[in-house]
Amino acid sequence: MPVKRENILIVHNHYTISGGEDTVVASEKDLLEKKGHKVFIYSRDNKEIAGMSKFQKVGMACSFLFSFRTYYDICSLTAKEKIDIVHVHNTLSLISPSVYYACVTKRIPVVQTVHNFRLICPNALMYRQNEICEKCIESGLYCAIKNRCYHNSFFQTLLCVIGIKFHRWTGIYKKIHYICLTEFNKNKLLAGMRKSIKRNHVYIKPNFVEDIYDKLLKGKREVKDKYCIYVGRLEASKGVLELAEAWKQMVSVPDLVICGGGPEEERMKEIAKEWDNIIYLGKISHKKILNFIFYAEALIFPSKLYEGFPMTILESMMCGTPVICRNVGNGADIVRGIRADMLYDTEEELYNILRKKSYQGYGQYFREAYLMSYSPDANYEIYREILEKINVGK
């Protein structure tokens, strides 16, 4: 008979700077509670590190590998609250993989959402020296030590590699289950961990966002003119500078609205001052961003990274706004399943899509894809099916 997991423990280590993973954790908690599950949270925050003494930070280097605090906390909490399944999102840096060992000890199934490529690449991005890098898959993790891939630090990279290698050696990764966000993610995980995980323990469940389409439809449009939009961090790896430079040369295309902040902010301000067809808004509220996406001709996603699961693409789908995406990684994997002709490899190909206005009328396809696979209800059905498949010791 199907196993109904009533009590769920979500485990999450917050990064120093809040990001998309935190939003996903909060959204999944709310959804599970709405569906009748009793949800508990075990969390730590990397902001704790700033207040540690030098002695405590040395000790943290050991707990990075295995945290006895986490082990005992999880053992105690799962017993006290009669937890049916533990769902882990992030363990770096304070929680550590010791959460897995605690669950195995207590014979409680544990599933890990794979938000990035940390298990196969110490810097989690598979990106180095301004290009995609898969050396750790092809030649082993020692490549990362040689190139100081984690925070450009030999010691920190060495610690990361030792941690990954140690937990592979213990066999713990074969005893847990994995939720990948896309087929692309799943394939990379299996390629990098082929000897360390069980193929039948890997599932696919994307992220989701709430459907506020009707609410946005009733809102006031911020910009009357036709425009395309970029939303995201302003840095070289995101491809936004190349996008802006290319847009300057384009004719007979909508304006480009850019939202976000980052290291290339000053350069973006200069470009926007120089060219009338580029509008830089800086950092604005999420509510305003959704309004801009909703009324845009298209969202442009030019990232050169594999990315994890780009939430801006998902929000654009919810808004019924087409997405024009660089043919790289997870962004391309998502868009390809809706309209493959919305992918581009070069700025010239991007210009052809814009000039021909082939994206017009595609909004319905993106909206339909959202309703079918990325809405809360659709997402929960996928989640429920995964929980039913996971059994202790299988």
CA distances from 32 to 29, 220, 240, 270 (A): 5, 33, 36, 46
**256 shares a domain with 117:** no
Residue 394 lies in a domain: no
Q: What is the pLDDT of residues 298-342, one digit of tens each?
A: 999 999 999 999 999 999 999 999 999 999 999 999 999 999 999
Tell whether 174 and 59 lie within a shared domain: yes
pLDDT of residue 168: 96
Residue 69 has pLDDT above 90, yes or no: yes
- The count of structural domains within the chain is 2
Residue 4: what pLDDT?
Answer: 63
Global pTM value: 0.93
Q: How far is CA 297 from CA 63, 228, 249, 365, in A?
A: 49, 5, 19, 14
Residue 301 and residue 221 in one domain: yes
Q: Which has the higher per-residue pLDDT, 62 or 98? A: 98
**Alpha carbon distance 136, 138 (integer Å):** 6
What does DSSP say about strands 131-132 and 127-128: parallel, antiparallel, or unpaired?
antiparallel
Token match 């030098």: residue?
54
Q: What is the pLDDT of residue 224?
A: 64
Say if residue 16 is in the same domain as residue 162.
yes
| 203: containing domain | 7-208+375-389
Structure confidence at residue 52 (pLDDT): 76
Q: Are residues 191 and 218 in the same domain?
A: no
Residue of 85 and 20 predicted with greater confidence: 85
CATH label of the domain that carries residue 164? 3.40.50.2000
Considering the domain architecture, whether residues 12 and 142 belong to the same structural domain is answered as: yes
147-152 average pLDDT score? 93
1: in domain: no
- Letter for the amino acid at 370? Y
Q: Is residue 225, in this structure, part of any structural domain at all?
A: yes
Asked whether residue 2 is domain-assigned, the answer is no
pLDDT at 296: 96
Which tens digits make up the pLDDT trace of 160-177?
999 999 999 999 999 999
Per-residue tokens: 377: 């209800």
Give percent above pLDDT 90 in the chain.
Answer: 84
Whether residue 143 is contained in a domain is answered as yes
Residue 258 — very low, low, confident or very high, per pLDDT cuts 50/70/90? very high
Average pLDDT, the chain: 93
Residues 179 and 280 reside in one and the same domain = no
Same domain, 239 and 191: no
Do 193 and 243 reside in the same domain of the chain?
Answer: no
Which whole number is the average pLDDT over 281-306? 96
What is residue 393's predicted lDDT score, i.e. its pLDDT? 44
pLDDT at 268 over 70: yes
Same domain for 341 and 255, yes or no, is: yes
By DSSP bridging, strand 202-204 and strand 127-128 are unpaired
Residue 365 forms part of a structural domain:
yes
Backbone angles phi, psi at 139, to 5 degrees: -125, 0
Better-predicted residue by pLDDT, 31 or 394: 31
**pLDDT recorded at residue 218:** 86
Cis status of the peptide bond prior to 93, with omega within 30 of 0: yes
| Strand 323-326 with 127-128, pairing | unpaired
* Same domain assignment for residues 201 and 276: no
Mean pLDDT of 114-140: 95
Which band of pLDDT confidence, cut at 50, 70 and 90, is reported for residue 62?
Answer: confident
**Inter-residue contact 204 to 226 (CB < 8 Å):** no
Q: Which of 94, 101, 23, 96 is nearest to 52 (CA)?
A: 94
Same domain, 201 and 323: no
Of 185 and 60, the structure prediction assigns the larger pLDDT to 185
Residue with tokens 């087929």: 183
How does pLDDT run across 33-54, given as a tens digit for each residue?
A: 999 999 999 999 988 877 877 7
